[in-house]
């Protein structure tokens, strides 16, 4: 049953000049740890090979029966706890591994969190999904549609990976992260700054799953249902696009590269992060990475990295932060903010 108080909130329909401010943060990883040695025993690879090319030592993988909704609910719950009282008026779930093709998973997440009757929908921009989700949540607040928006990035990306492909198995893990956005002022700590979003659909086949959609629902070749990645070409595009996008939001905000205290990028590959930092002229300690312990968790990677960087003291209130991502689609984007005093739930 819908929350009767929600339908009475007519002021949500009035456009607002308020900014979207991060007020809560949470993340969740499946308990099962899969180290490089476990993968090396099954595939023709080694711990040294994986580490040297990706920077990954281990990743988390869901147990059978655990779904994207399950991960999203736990991360969302923790973000709501972090934000305190108030709940949320909308849920935006960034994922490319929804529990089923139809319907979207976000309404189930909202219901499981007790947010009955609120707007809830999925955003699929793959590894760029969290940045796209933040932009969507900020738009809902700016339009006066919602005052508090729960933005979740969650993926069971291992479900898309060919278990016999040594090029992709070591890279991807599962997880979820979330932030609670509230309406606030643009000069507050935590207020999201400008966004820069892009796509390039003609290059979709560089990183895609061919079958399973309306165009090719059932393929006789089981490999068509798994992720195919042209790694070297994707690497070049990711480095260039993430750096370009970061420069664009810096220019929009009037910041200089030297103003950045922390760059929280999509944790795709340590080499991509290092190359992007070099192209931007960032010091090594500015580009944050937790990929060694979690791998590439797709849309969940940035909010998980935010939570981890707060927990380990790397990210402090007042830090000037740029967030950037690149993913399948192709899609990429960035935003920035001054980090608030938020404790992960």
Give me the DSSP letters along 73-130: HHHHHHHHHHH-TT--SEEEEE-SS-SSSSS-SHHHHHHHTT-TTSEEEEE--GGGHH
CA distances to 95, 198, 215 from 71, rounded to whole Å, are: 11, 27, 29
From the candidates 239, 276, 296, 319, which is the catalytic residue?
A: 296
pLDDT tier, 4 (very low <50, low <70, confident <90, very high otherwise)? very low
From the candidates 36, 239, 266, 319, which is the catalytic residue?
A: 266
pLDDT tier, 13 (very low <50, low <70, confident <90, very high otherwise)? low
Nearest-10 Cα torsion for 101, 298, 263, 148: 30
Could you tell me the two tokens for 221?
Answer: 């070749």
Angstrom distance (rounded) from CA 76 to CA 112: 10
From the candidates 127, 237, 239, 269, which is the catalytic residue?
A: 127
Query: What is the tens place of the pLDDT at every residue in 249-306?
Result: 999 999 999 999 999 999 999 999 999 999 999 998 999 999 999 999 999 999 999 9
Check if 296 is active-site: yes
The reported pTM is: 0.93
CA 257 to chain centre: 23
Could you tell me the two tokens for 265?
Answer: 């990028």
Nearest-10 Cα torsion for 294, 131, 76, 27: 20
Place of tokens 């006789």: 220
CA-nearest of 91, 95, 96, 97 to 79 is 91
Task: Give the mean pLDDT of the chain.
Answer: 93
Q: All domains of the chain, ordered by start, with CATH? A: 19-184 (3.40.47.10), 191-339 (3.40.47.10)
Q: Say if residue 225's pLDDT is above 80.
A: yes
Residue 156 · residue 173 · CB < 8 Å: no
pLDDT for residue 213: 87
């Amino acid at each position: 049953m819908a929350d009767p108080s929600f339908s009475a909130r007519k002021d949500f329909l009035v456009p607002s000049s308020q900014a979207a401010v991060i007020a809560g943060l949470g993340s969740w990883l499946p308990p099962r740890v899969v180290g490089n040695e476990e993968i090396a025993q099954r595939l023709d690879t080694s711990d040294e090979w994986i580490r040297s090319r990706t920077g990954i030592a281990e990743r988390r993988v869901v147990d059978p029966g655990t779904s994207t909704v399950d991960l999203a609910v736990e991360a969302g719950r923790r973000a709501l706890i972090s934000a305190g009282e108030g709940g949320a008026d909308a849920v935006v779930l960034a994922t490319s591994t929804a529990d089923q093709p139809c319907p979207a998973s976000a309404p189930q997440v909202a219901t499981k969190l007790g947010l009955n009757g609120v707007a809830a929908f999925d955003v699929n921009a793959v590894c760029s999904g969290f940045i796209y989700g933040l932009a969507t949540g900020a738009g809902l607040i700016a339009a006066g549609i919602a005052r508090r928006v729960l933005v979740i990035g969650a993926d069971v990306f291992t479900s898309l990976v060919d278990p016999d492909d040594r090029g992709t198995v070591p890279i991807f893990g599962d997880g979820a992260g979330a932030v609670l956005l509230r309406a606030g002022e643009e000069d507050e700590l935590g207020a999201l700054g400008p966004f820069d979003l892009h796509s390039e659909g003609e290059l979709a086949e560089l990183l895609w799953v061919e079958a399973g959609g309306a165009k090719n629902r059932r393929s006789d070749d089981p490999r068509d249902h798994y992720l195919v990645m042209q790694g070297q070409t994707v690497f070049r595009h990711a480095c260039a696009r993430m750096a370009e996008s970061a420069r664009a939001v810096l220019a929009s905000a009037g910041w200089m590269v030297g103003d950045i205290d922390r760059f929280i990028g999509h944790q795709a590959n340590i080499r991509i992060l290092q190359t992007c930092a070099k192209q931007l002229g960032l010091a090594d300690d500015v580009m944050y990475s937790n990929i060694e312990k979690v791998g590439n968790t797709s849309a969940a990677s940035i909010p998980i990295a935010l939570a981890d960087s707060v927990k380990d003291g790397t990210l402090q209130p007042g830090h000037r932060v740029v967030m950037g991502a690149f993913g399948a689609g192709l899609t990429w984007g960035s935003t920035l903010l001054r980090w608030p005093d938020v404790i992960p739930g």
